């Protein structure tokens, strides 16, 4: 599990530990990861952690080496780590900020998945869980690059699922809706126009994910409304979709 220290990743780790799973957890913040290890040790069947900056290729390879050295290799890879970057128009965004988003959400994600498929193949059954977003196939003004990385994850997951169908490795693409984690605060998004009923707790999202994992699902939305809006959103004409999404939830800070 990547991005285990906070938000959705932390809640999924807790949920899996409570279900008696063995866990190999990685996160960016070493101290936070150590605290999580202490918290989950009494529940999990087994537990080991290793901090890594997944935006850095060398740290990714060190993590892969650590995973290869485990007595029991992982049978599920949960690609959860992801950042949004700074909320604002694409034109006003810093290139360095957008590069960080792509480095983690796309390059880190691809590299880890590529390195772990041979390891998953050694297991009786393997699963790759990719965390996309309910908005992954819809416009995301203000976080256009982030939105595009999530579209990438969804598209890539579908192609990989085709390539791996008929093998012992299943691919599940999970699309969370708005979730109350530090993600939005870090992006400095104004969430006041997002109706409360659309925002879910990370615990609820984690329960849905673990249930879908057990059910053998492959394409999952965290809740009914997220699934409905994602499916309806791509059906409406492009011109209407652009008008609707321009100011649906938020205004760009640099438009004033």
Ligand X SMILES: NC(=O)c1ccc[n+]([C@@H]2O[C@H](COP(=O)([O-])OP(=O)(O)OC[C@H]3O[C@@H](n4cnc5c(N)ncnc54)[C@H](OP(=O)(O)O)[C@@H]3O)[C@@H](O)[C@H]2O)c1
For position 131 contacting ligand X by CB under 6 A, the verdict is: yes
The side-by-side arrangement of strands in the sheet containing 219-221 is 76-79, 126-131, 169-175, 219-221
Instruction: Looking at residues 147 to 176 of the shown chain, list those that interact with ligand X (rule: CB under 6 A).
Output: 176
**221 belongs to the catalytic site:** no
User: Length of the chain, please?
Assistant: 256
Site string for ligand X, 190-229 (x = CB under 6 A): ----------------------------------------
Report residue 229 as tokens: 């809006």
The Cα-based distances of 148 to 79, 153, 234 in angstroms read 16, 9, 15
Residue with tokens 């918290």: 39
Among positions 17, 24, 55, 212, the unique one binding ligand X when judged by CB under 6 A: 55
Among positions 98, 104, 169, 189, the unique one binding ligand X when judged by CB under 6 A: 104
Q: d(Cα 149, Cα 135) in Å, to the nearest integer?
A: 11
Q: Given 146, 174, 221, 249, which residue is catalytic?
A: 146
Q: How many CA atoms lie within 13 A of 2 on its CB side?
A: 29
For position 85 contacting ligand X by CB under 6 A, the verdict is: no
For position 142 contacting ligand X by CB under 6 A, the verdict is: no
Q: How many CA atoms lie within 13 A of 215 on its CB side?
A: 11
For position 54 contacting ligand X by CB under 6 A, the verdict is: yes
> CB 166 → ligand X: shortest distance, Å?
28
Task: Write out the residues near ligand X by the rule CB under 6 A.
Answer: 3, 5-9, 27-29, 32, 53-55, 80-83, 104, 131, 133, 176, 178-179, 181-183, 186
Catalytic residues: 146
């Amino acid at each position: 599990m990547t991005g285990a220290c906070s938000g959705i990743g932390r809640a999924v780790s807790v949920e899996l530990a409570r279900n008696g799973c063995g866990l190999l957890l990685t996160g960016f913040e070493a101290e936070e990861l150590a605290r999580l290890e202490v918290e989950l040790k009494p529940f999990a069947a087994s537990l080991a952690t290793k901090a890594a900056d997944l935006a850095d290729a060398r740290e990714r390879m060190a993590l892969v080496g650590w995973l290869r050295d485990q007595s029991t290799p992982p049978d599920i890879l949960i690609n959860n780590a992801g950042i949004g970057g700074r909320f604002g128009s694409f034109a006003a965004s810093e290139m360095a900020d957008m590069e960080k988003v792509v480095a983690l959400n796309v390059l880190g994600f691809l590299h880890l998945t590529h390195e772990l498929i041979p390891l998953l193949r050694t297991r009786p059954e393997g699963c790759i869980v990719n965390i996309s977003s309910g908005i992954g196939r819809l416009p995301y003004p203000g976080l256009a690059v982030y939105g595009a990385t999530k579209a990438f994850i969804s598209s890539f997951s579908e192609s990989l699922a085709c390539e791996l169908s008929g093998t012992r490795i299943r691919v599940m693409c999970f699309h969370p809706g708005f979730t109350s984690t530090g993600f939005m605060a870090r992006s400095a998004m104004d969430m006041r126009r997002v109706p409360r009923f659309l925002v879910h707790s990370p615990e609820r999202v984690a329960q849905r994910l673990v249930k879908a994992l057990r059910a053998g699902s492959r394409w999952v939305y965290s809740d009914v409304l997220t699934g409905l809006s994602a499916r309806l959103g791509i059906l409406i004409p492009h011109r209407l979709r652009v008008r609707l999404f321009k100011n649906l939830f938020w205004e760009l800070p640099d438009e004033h």
